[in-house]
Amino acid sequence: MTPPPDVPALLRALPCGTMTGVAFGHPYVATRTIFNNGKSEKLVAEQRGGPDYISLNLYHLAAGPQLFPCEMPAEKVIAFLRAFQPDAAHG
């Protein structure tokens, strides 16, 4: 799906590698990885001490960015990207 305009920038603002942070009042550990010389990105996040899990791929195509959530609704990954705040050590 074509993501809302803020989504690619929100993902790009996160540091590469593994980080901790908070979303929806809960702690998460997240990993952002860049592939294919920057043409694709992956974000995986797990709620620490809880059941929530986020996984998405974002592809930077000539026709524009395309968001592919991994076995979950797009709304869930978009809401997570909008809510997630990395800890100060990572921001």
Asked if residue 68 is part of any domain, the answer here is: yes
Distance, in Å, from the CA atom of 43 to the CA atom of 56, rounded to the nearest integer, reads: 5
Dump strand ranges (E) for 9-82. Answer: 17-23, 26-35, 40-47, 53-61, 64-69
Is 91 part of any domain? no
79 in a structural domain = yes
pLDDT tens digits, one per residue of 35-70: 999 999 999 999 999 999 999 999 999 999 999 999
What is the domain count for the chain? 1
Q: Categorize the per-residue pLDDT at 88 as very low, low, confident or very high, splitting at 50, 70 and 90.
A: confident
pLDDT in the model for residue 9: 97
Domain hosting residue 54, numbered range: 6-85
Let me know if residue 59 belongs to a domain: yes
